Chain A
Amino acid sequence: MTEQNLSLARTLPCDDCTRRAWLVATLAPNLELAWRARRPLRDVLGLADRTLVDCLAGSAADALLKRWEGLDVDAVRATWGAAGGTSVCRHDPRYPERLRTGPDAPAVLFCAGDPRRLRAWLAGPAAGGMPAVAIVGTRRPLPEGAEFARTLGRGLAAAGVTVVSGMAMGIDAAAHAGALDAGGPTVAVLACGPELAYPKSVASVHRQLVAEQLVVSELPPGATPWRWAFPARNRIIAALGGATVVVEATERSGSLITADFAADLGRDIGAAPGRAGSPRTLGSNRLLAQGAAVILEPGDVLDLVCSIDRTSDTPPPVPAGLEPRLQMLLSLLRDGGQPVTQARTPEAAEAARVGLLELELRGLVRRVPGGGHVAAG
């Protein structure tokens, strides 16, 4: 047998897992009903195949069971294979060790991107891999929230920590984008087939993730996103991260579901503090009140996953060799000033505007929507 055949054999999920994954995808509409009836998702997904069909399929249970028994697993695997990407089952050595959290763990993990990254990025330090952190938060963040998520993503990825998130709009996409800024590693967990760019507004992030990073899902290629699939993928995000960081969450945010899952699994939880009294950050602030770690910078997350004590809290250094006028601008900006607005004469405003542009070109300043500037983290 040639090496190629060998590797091909290894990419295929086993029969049992194939049946299971097929069943979950086929039962997606029924799971939607169960989810709306507020059945605990992890318990439902933890049921054995036959019980699952009995519980969910109702009158169609018998017919479905027959189809399940007579399933042509080779044909199913061939369909998945033809859609591109790789499928990795629970019995595959590449399956992330941390994801084996119980009977509800996905039977097959569908990947878009290089599957070798699974082992390198998600195996966890226990299995000799890198640490991983889940970053989650609201889909509609404040600009500062999105900027902070980006900073976290960039800092963690640069430190060699895998950034896991859900590629939703807002915080998720910003965390991925930050990690992409640093060249990865980052992994997105989707609530639909891994090849599907959902939501469309982050299609460019998806494109980049598939090309350079990794996108995984428990649903096979072609599966469309159901509402139950979002909390379901949150359990995968929580399981894959050695710690879960909530950046900005309202009281009823989906990211709190992720934090709950993470707490169930005994993983560390961190949260970025928000303004007291603001409904936008009430959820994340509650987490802090309940004892989550305070996250003020990427280093705080490293403390969580690497358990290293860091006590210094020096402000980000002003890059050496910066001209004094630019240094002044930068420190004014870091103190919350708006140099252009505060200028007294048209000439001074012009100078400030040009100075900010120069800082922007050096990557020290970013423009924010609405025409202002903030110091990049």
Chain B
Amino acid sequence: MLATVPTFALIGIEPRRVDVEVDVRPGLPSFTIVGLGDRSVREARERVAAAIVNSGMKVPQQRITVNLAPAGLHKSGPGFDLAIACGVLAASGVIRPADLAGVAVHGELALSGEVRAARGTLVVAEGAQAHGLEHLLVAPDRLGEANLLDGVTGVPAADLRAVVRVLSGGPPTGTATSSPPGAEPEEADHTGPDLIDVRGHAASLEAVTVAAAGGHNLLLSGPPGTGKTMLARRIPSILPPLGPHEALEVTRIASVAGVATGGRLLRVRPFRAPHHSISSAGLVGGGSIPRPGEVTLAHAGVLFLDELSEFPRGTLEALRQPLEDGRVLVTRGQQSVLFPCRTMLVAATNPCPCGYGGTARCRCTTHEHDRHRRRLSGPLLDRIDLTVRVDRPTAEELAAPPLRTSAAERERVAEARDRQARRLAGTDVLCNAHLDARLLRLHLALDDLAERQLARVYERGLLSARGRHRVLRVARTIADLAASDRVHVPHLLSALALREDTGADEEAA
């Protein structure tokens, strides 16, 4: 007898339909799983058999063949366990095939028969939605994720016995439906760290707002322990709340990566701060079964690289293209997978080896400065529009009231982003940081005085051609923050003052 159970494999963060076909026929008792499963899939045999027996049911003493179709797709992970068990039970007549109609199945099995959660429930729910499957059978603690999408209802089952009961129309078990079905857009909660906790840092706060307003990559340069990380952690709190589409994407990524989502859409922008010992695969994604890297986990949020100069050069190089494109293509022998990664890069570094660069206390030679900068400079710095120094606040500043609050800054940023979105409507660019040369020319609106000023600066050799673009993008953002349609001289000067350290002569040499 033949039974088919639909489930979904995770290809990156995309679902791919997989039909679990189970055939039970007379013959020498055996249990074979075919269809390019990896070890964790083949081991499902033992888990399924034990789970069925321990649930008080029988594994037919016949020849059992399980095929995971399409047979050409590599499959991995224990998420197929439950589907295989359902298939076996259906093929041996315990479950009526009609009960399985319109039901997708996703979950891992314990030997006791208990249903365990598997990674990527939200992605599987998306697949179910796309294929018109109305029910999704999952472990009880993934019910929230399974219910997030319209048109798909999660069906919780705590163990195999419950699965049989539920499918035959019995009441669902473990009905702790914490969130009602459907994803209602609720007000984003900004419980993350707030700028109101920051004392001093007058010199850096405005740059942080500018970076957030234009989505610009930001470099914080300053001695260790002065608050670079603290400032970076507060950037998500001044970014506009996630839109519904972005929220779904972020939740999907978290779901695939196995980060707990709490069964609801994530509304807080992610903040990821990988340590500098991370590998390139860990940063941009990879592995023999491609998994999202930190840059993808930071999608729509902030990727913070502390001690930028400590990151291996190759790792940073690998980051360049993803930052540019807003997506990563991870290609491994059998498949290539696209991950989104439209993230804002915030990097922190010491200004020089001794850490006191730019102050009288610095005792580094020009040679040491050069070497430090060479470690940093290069392709990645080209993607960083803004550089700002972060210095130690004085005791007086620490005692003073905070200078800015996240709520106020969030409003300014949101307004500036609105202006950008209105101007850029119809293009796939969302903010000034991603303006290419053509769009920049089109939307810059530099006034004549500013134009002349820029020409003067450029002629003096203080800017390279690429640096000029960066400055103009930032100037556009500063004008947006000031609610100005045109970019005037003060906007341009502010942008120039925040330009990156390396002058034109060094880039030319």
State the A residues within 8 Å of B (CB).
139-143, 146, 169-170, 203-204, 280, 336, 338, 340-341, 343-350, 353-354, 356-358, 360-361, 367-373
Q: Chain B nearest CB: distance from A94 CB in Å?
A: 33
Instruction: Please choose the segment from B59-67, B443-451, B492-500 that sits at the chain A interface, where 4 or more of its residues have CB less than 8 A away.
Output: B492-500
B403 within 8 A of partner (CB): yes
Q: Is the CB of A140 within 8 A of B367?
A: yes
Q: Is the CB of B497 within 8 A of A204?
A: no
Q: Is the CB of B457 within 8 A of A367?
A: no
**Which residues of B are found within 8 Å of A344, using beta-carbon distances?**
202, 397
Q: Which of B364, B456, B503 has the most chain A CB atoms closer than 10 A to its own CB?
A: B364
Q: Is the CB of B357 within 8 A of A345?
A: no
**Which residues of A are found within 8 Å of B389, using beta-carbon distances?**
340-341, 371
Question: Could you pull out 17 A-B pairs where Cβ atoms are within 8 angstroms?
Answer: A141-B365, A142-B366, A146-B366, A340-B203, A346-B205, A346-B206, A349-B204, A357-B497, A358-B493, A361-B456, A369-B351, A369-B358, A369-B373, A370-B364, A371-B389, A372-B357, A372-B359
Q: Is the CB of B202 within 8 A of A143?
A: no
Shortest Cβ distance from A373 into B: residue: B358
Shortest Cβ distance from A174 into B: residue: B366
**Which residues of B are found within 8 Å of A141, using beta-carbon distances?**
365-366
Q: Is the CB of A345 within 8 A of B202?
A: yes
State the B residues within 8 Å of A (CB).
202-206, 221, 351-352, 356-360, 362-370, 372-373, 387, 389, 391, 397, 403-404, 456-457, 460, 462, 490, 493-494, 496-498, 501, 503, 505, 508-509
Q: CB < 8 Å: which of B202, B351, B362 contacts A346?
A: B202
**Which residues of B are found within 8 Å of A367, using beta-carbon distances?**
501, 503
Q: Is the CB of A140 within 8 A of B403?
A: no
Q: Is the CB of B496 within 8 A of A139?
A: no
Q: Is the CB of B404 within 8 A of A346?
A: yes
Shortest Cβ distance from A203 into B: residue: B509
Shortest Cβ distance from B387 into A: residue: A371
Q: CB < 8 Å: which of B351, B403, B490, B494 contacts A371?
A: B351
Q: CB < 8 Å: which of A341, A353, A369 contacts B498?
A: A353
Q: Is the CB of B359 within 8 A of A338?
A: yes
Sample of 15 further A-B pairs with CB below 8 A, known A143-B365, A169-B367: A139-B367, A140-B365, A344-B202, A346-B202, A346-B203, A353-B494, A361-B456, A361-B460, A369-B351, A369-B358, A369-B501, A370-B358, A371-B387, A371-B389, A372-B357
**Which residues of A are found within 8 Å of B509, using beta-carbon distances?**
203-204
Q: CB < 8 Å: which of A354, A358, A369 contacts B357?
A: A369
Q: Is the CB of A143 within 8 A of B366?
A: yes
| Distance A204 CA – B507 CA, assembled complex (angstroms) | 12
Shortest Cβ distance from B503 into A: residue: A367
**Which residues of B are found within 8 Å of A169, using beta-carbon distances?**
367
Q: Is the CB of B358 within 8 A of A338?
A: yes
Q: CB < 8 Å: which of A338, A341, A347, A356 contacts B497?
A: A356
Q: Is the CB of A345 within 8 A of B497?
A: no
Q: Chain B nearest CB: distance from A99 CB in Å?
A: 31
Q: Is the CB of B221 within 8 A of A143?
A: no
Q: Is the CB of A361 within 8 A of B462?
A: yes
| Distance A336 CA – B362 CA, assembled complex (angstroms) | 13
Q: Is the CB of A142 within 8 A of B497?
A: no
| Distance A140 CA – B462 CA, assembled complex (angstroms) | 24
**Which residues of A are found within 8 Å of B206, using beta-carbon distances?**
346-347, 349-350
Q: CB < 8 Å: which of A146, A347, A354 contacts B493?
A: A354
| Distance A64 CA – B311 CA, assembled complex (angstroms) | 56
Q: Is the CB of B457 within 8 A of A361?
A: yes
**Which residues of B are found within 8 Å of A340, using beta-carbon distances?**
203, 389
| Distance A342 CA – B501 CA, assembled complex (angstroms) | 20
| Distance A343 CA – B202 CA, assembled complex (angstroms) | 6
| Distance A143 CA – B352 CA, assembled complex (angstroms) | 12
Q: Which of B389, B403, B497, B505 has the most chain A CB atoms closer than 10 A to its own CB?
A: B497
For the complex of A and B, list the 4 residue pairs with the smallest distance between their C-beta atoms, beginning with the closest.
A370-B357, A372-B358, A369-B369, A370-B358
**Which residues of B are found within 8 Å of A170, using beta-carbon distances?**
366-367
Given A338-B358, A370-B352, A372-B358, A349 contacting B365 (CB threshold 8 A)? no
Shortest Cβ distance from B354 into A: residue: A370
Q: Is the CB of B203 within 8 A of A142?
A: no
Shortest Cβ distance from A171 into B: residue: B366
Q: Is the CB of A343 within 8 A of B493?
A: no
| Distance A373 CA – B203 CA, assembled complex (angstroms) | 14
| Distance A170 CA – B368 CA, assembled complex (angstroms) | 11
| Distance A368 CA – B357 CA, assembled complex (angstroms) | 9
| Distance A341 CA – B369 CA, assembled complex (angstroms) | 20
**Which residues of B are found within 8 Å of A280, using beta-carbon distances?**
365
**Which residues of B are found within 8 Å of A336, using beta-carbon distances?**
360
Q: CB < 8 Å: which of A146, A350, A371 contacts B221?
A: A371
Q: CB < 8 Å: which of B359, B397, B462, B505 contacts A360?
A: B462
Q: Chain B nearest CB: distance from A337 CB in Å?
A: 10
